[in-house]
Amino acid sequence: MKKVKTPFYGIKLFTGIALCIIMTSFNGQANNDDKQTVIEEKKTIQFSNLKNQISQVVRMMFQDRKGNFWFGTENGAFRLAGDSLIHIDSIKSESGKGVTIKDITEDKDGIIWVGHSDGISSINGALVTNYYESDGLISNDVWCISSDAEGKIWIGTIEGVCVFDRKNFVNFGLPEGIRDSTLGVSSTKMVHSILKDSKGTMWFSTNAGLFSYTNNRLKSVSDKVGIPTNFVSKIVEDKKGGFWVSTSVGLFHLKGDTLTNITEKHFDESKGTGSIIVDSKGDIWFNCSRSIYRLSGEKITEYRIEEGNYGPLTFQIYEDQQSRLWFVGFGGAYRYENDRFINVTQNGPW
């Protein structure tokens, strides 16, 4: 079956049934026993119940250039239209089933691209087009998606990376790594995230380490600067010419060829980190296990989810165009305002 194009009519959000979720976690090894944790503040996060959520599991969110909000969930993709969430019901697997959304991006022409558990989909106005392995996609198990300055779509999957030029899928060769035995889903070719930085360089966070690609040249950044693990989950760019790297053994800062172990500076043991952002104030937000951390200069604040509470075990930290911070994951979507976390349900507040 070839790519499927269907008009997007949409249906209003309904409360979905909670689906099974494989939560990622990292097991750190203790190091440097003489180090002392210098967390200056600890705050316990209390959340409301799980009723009336956008979805019981929100994998990620995205705001496009027009200001529209998109939410990727284990019940598919939703777009905020006015004060109503619209389900993009035309995004389907090749067999016609629903999908889990894992990443969303926008290309130079304003087309929205979605990577999910059964391929990729584009949303161009009212038209949804689905693409699968039968169209040339390297794998239907897509984990990340990005667009470059030329409008090419870069797709990271459990079987590596491929590039789509709107006509053909071309496999992009990356070195093979190792499988992460601590996770329920992993492979030697796993690609966790793809970043296009401000200079147009593409960055790949994989199970073989961190790689950059520019001027038709692929470079192993991990080998060059000595990242001490194969498992790199994400890289983000700051406004000072540096990058922040999230890995299975902690958080690192990279500037030029200098790598700084941030976890080692601030904690007495290694902490595997997941999602990470640099906000508009320059503060670094990252999560590990049941805690969210904010690094502001040399001050670290820990926001700890209280035991027995289930939201949000964070998949993604996101800052919108109004400089509002969002935390989405298992338990729904939450926004940080006035030093507290606001539960954003299917009824807002938006």
- Write out the DSSP string of 51-116: TTBS-SBEEEEEE-TT--EEEEETTEEEEEETTEEEE-TT---TTS----EEEEEE-TTS-EEEEE
Per-residue pLDDT for 110 more than 80? yes
pLDDT at 14 exceeding the cut of 50:
no
In the predicted structure, residue 213 carries a pLDDT above the cut 60: yes
pLDDT at 21: 33
Write the pLDDT tens digit of every residue in 38-87: 455 666 655 555 578 999 999 999 999 999 999 999 999 999 988 889 99
Please give the tally of structural domains in the chain. 1
**What is the per-residue pLDDT for 82?**
85
User: What are φ and ψ of residue 43, in 5° steps?
Assistant: -130, 135
Both tokens of residue 267? 């904690």
Higher pLDDT, 179 or 19: 179
Q: What pLDDT, on the 0 to 100 scale, is given for residue 46?
A: 54
Structure token pair of residue 116: 């999910």
Is residue 20 in a domain? no
Which structure tokens are listed for 173?
């060769």
What secondary structure letter does DSSP report for 223? H
In a domain, 87, yes or no: yes
Q: Which of 80, 93, 100 is nearest to 10 (CA)?
A: 80
pLDDT in tens, 140-171: 999 999 999 999 999 999 999 999 999 999 99
Q: What is the pTM of this model?
A: 0.87
pLDDT for the residue numbered 237:
98
Residue 274's CATH number = 2.130.10.10
pLDDT of 50 reads 58
Give the per-residue pLDDT at 313.
Answer: 79
Q: What is the pLDDT of residue 108?
A: 96
pLDDT at residue 41 in the model: 61
**Predicted confidence (pLDDT) per residue in 274-285, tens digit:** 999 999 999 999
* CA 344 to the chain's CA centroid: 19
Q: pLDDT value at position 211?
A: 98
**Is 338 inside a domain boundary?**
yes
> Does a structural domain hold residue 252?
yes
Q: Is residue 21 part of a domain?
A: no
Neighbouring C-alpha atoms within 13 Å toward the C-beta of 252: 26
Summarised one tens digit per residue, pLDDT across range 123-140 is 999 999 999 999 999 999
71 has which bridge partners?
61, 78
Report the sign of the C-alpha dihedral through residues 209, 258, 28, 38, in that order.
Answer: negative
Least confident of 10-14, 63-67, 186-190: 10-14
User: What residue numbers bound the domain in which 245 lies?
Assistant: 4-15+26-344
Determine, yes or no, domain membership for 247. Answer: yes
Return the half-sphere exposure (C-beta side, CA atoms, 13 A cut-off) of residue 126.
3
Average pLDDT, the chain: 87
List the structure tokens of 49: 């119940």
Phi, psi of 215 (to 5 degrees): 50, 40
**Is the residue at 349 inside a domain?**
no
**What tokens were used for 256?**
């030029």
Instruction: Fill in the amino acid letter for 260.
Output: T
Q: For residue 36, what pLDDT band results from cuts at 50, 70 and 90?
A: very low
Mean pLDDT of 295-320: 82
pLDDT of residue 94 exceeding 90: yes
Q: Is position 167 within any domain?
A: yes
- The β-bridge relationship of strands 232-237 and 191-196 is unpaired
Beta-carbon-side half-sphere exposure of residue 54 (alpha carbons within 13 Å): 37
pLDDT digits (tens, 9 = 90+) for 23-34: 333 333 333 333
